[in-house]
Amino acid sequence: MEQGAYGAGKAGGAFDPQTFIRQPHTILRMVSWLFSIVVFGGIVNEGYVNRPEEKEEYCIFNRNQNACNYGITVGVLAFLSCLLYLALDVYFPQISSVKDRKKAVLSDIGVSGLWAFLWFVSFCFLADQWRVSKKENNPFNEGADAARAAITFSLFSVFTWVGQSFLAFQRYQLGADSALFSQDYTDPSQEAGMPYAPYTNEDDTIDSMGTYQQAPSADAFDAEAQGYQAQDY
């Protein structure tokens, strides 16, 4: 595929699903999408337990509702972000403006870096709350696997989102090099309002000079007059 600005083909090209799926940033987005499902899905389904004598369920992470709420919120928003940027990746080759492509890549760098940070906070928060959880609050050890999975995949998500940010930065560097001359370029003569000088071919000039014939001089007219003789009638 012929490369255009910021690592994508030129606008108007046909969409190739196989090439799209094989791209590294597409693979990382799909993996991050699956990790987010594991985190918020595990907490929603098995992240709330109670004692045998209790009816109300509490967060499995030390009964801290904020821990479960944070894990669910980050997971759901990361899930939606992955879908959004997957859609943007599909539409990206159709973007003809170099400036718009630049904005998309820069947003990818910033959003991916932000999610890497949020997932790191999630890992630290959930791991700490799981560490201080009391066994008497969950005597049957219900939902322990889901809690460990949420902690583990929060850590894995840090690396996948860092990888997305790194790949986006590489695309930005590639785009900066390929679009260096074409972006915001104006011809100096047009900017100054000066018209182009008329083009003159040197050979045409020489030919026109060679075919020019000089007008006859006054001496030639006198000689011709002397050679004329009047006739008597």
The 10 Å Cβ neighbour count of residue 75 is 26
Do 38 and 150 contact (CB within 8 A), yes or no? yes
C-alpha closest to that of 154 among 9, 35, 42: 35
pLDDT of residue 186: 45
Burial class (CB in 10 A: 0-12, 13-18, 19+), 147: buried
Domain locations in the chain as residue ranges: 17-182
pLDDT of residue 30: 96
CA dist., res. 135 & res. 226, Å (int)? 140
The 10 Å Cβ neighbour count of residue 10 is 12
How do residues 163-172 score in pLDDT, each as one tens digit? Answer: 999 999 998 8
CA dist., res. 66 & res. 149, Å (int)? 18
Identify residue 160 by its one-letter amino acid code.
Answer: T
59 bridge partner residues: 48
C-alpha closest to that of 95 among 161, 41, 201, 175: 175
- Angstrom distances, CA of residue 102 to CA of 33, 90, 194: 24, 16, 32
Lookup: tokens for 154: 């929060």
CA 166 from chain centre, in angstroms, equals: 12
Name residues of the chain where pLDDT drops below 50.
1-2, 11, 180-196, 205-206, 208-209, 211-212, 220-221, 223-225, 227-228, 230, 233
Say what the pTM is: 0.70
pLDDT of residue 50: 87
CA dist., res. 5 & res. 2, Å (int)? 10
pLDDT of residue 192: 47
pLDDT of residue 162: 97
**Beta strand spans in the chain (E):** 48-49, 58-59
Do 153 and 41 contact (CB within 8 A), yes or no? no
